[in-house]
Amino acid sequence: MATYKRPDGREYDETRKIEAKVGVVKRADGSAMFSFGSSRAIAAVYGPRQLHPQHLQNPEKCLLRCYYDMLPFSVAERKRPGPSRRSTEISYVTTSALSPVLKLEAFPNAVIDVYILIIEADASTRCAGINAASLALAHAGVPMTELVSAVSIGKIGDAIVADITKEEEDYKIKKDGKEIKAATDIPMAILSRANKLSLLQLDGKVTLDELKEAIALGKKTCKKIVEIQKQALKKVKEE
């Protein structure tokens, strides 16, 4: 039985407070905000629109481009402005996570640009960004087969927990007189209807059984997240 106690008192399967709102960037074709506690992301969608230069166009489908970045003061230590290796990697995995649900073949020679900005950061930012982007694409009216929901599952000490914080990411234990990292971050994205993974990353070490437990918890958590996403979309339609 796991003995780890979460610093904020949450149960292992409990997320921080979740907020979702659609229509937050007025001049975008679609936009949304999504937050896990103090991790807050805003996504804005532009398109579908004709892709330039012409040699980049694909006559069979639309190009999806995602751009992830963080405000310089979104973290405790000021982030250097502009793209980094990390933001480039997260932009790529976000594009991969969202692509399976979009009917890109409906817009040949076009492009959809998704800009994701983290305005506050306390871990799980790529997952907050994916959730915001999925909402923003739906708000823009881009044809989608289903929503995408994402969450970071962690192995902290001997426990598998949902929606980890920066404090949990940095969790250490003493071994042989030394402090060693005892946290594993497992970001994942789930297709809401198919209940399949569109993203799975692993930063740390887990056993196969622990990974299976983490995926099961991720799917359970994403079922709650997608209901919040649906409520946000329903609310904007009613306004």
Interval 144-164: pLDDT, tens = 999 999 999 999 988 999 999
Residue 32 lies in a domain: yes
Residue 119 lies in a domain: yes
Please give the pLDDT value at position 124.
95
Residue 9 lies in a domain: no
Task: Determine the average pLDDT of the residues in 29-39.
Answer: 97
SS3 106: helix
Please give the pLDDT value at position 79.
58
Residue 5 lies in a domain: no
Q: How many domains would you assign to the chain?
A: 1
Q: Structure pTM?
A: 0.93
Residue 224 lies in a domain: yes
What is the b/e burial string over 115-126, where b = at least 16 CB atoms within 10 angstroms of the residue's CB? bbbbebbbbbbb
- Percent pLDDT > 70 in the chain is 95
Residue 11 lies in a domain: no
Asked whether residue 174 carries a pLDDT value surpassing 90, the answer given is: no
Task: Determine the average pLDDT of the residues in 91-106.
Answer: 97
Residues β-bridged to residue 66:
114
Burial label, 109 (beta-carbon count in 10 A; 0-12, 13-18, 19+)? middle
Residue 13 lies in a domain: no
Residue 173 lies in a domain: yes
Distance, CA of 89 to CA of 101 (rounded, Å): 20
Asked whether residue 205 carries a pLDDT value surpassing 70, the answer given is: yes
* Confidence at 239, pLDDT banded by 50, 70, 90: low
Please give the pLDDT value at position 78.
52
Distance, CA of 75 to CA of 73 (rounded, Å): 5
Q: Which domain holds residue 143?
A: 18-238
Asked whether residue 77 carries a pLDDT value surpassing 60, the answer given is: no
Q: What's 157's domain CATH number?
A: 3.30.230.70
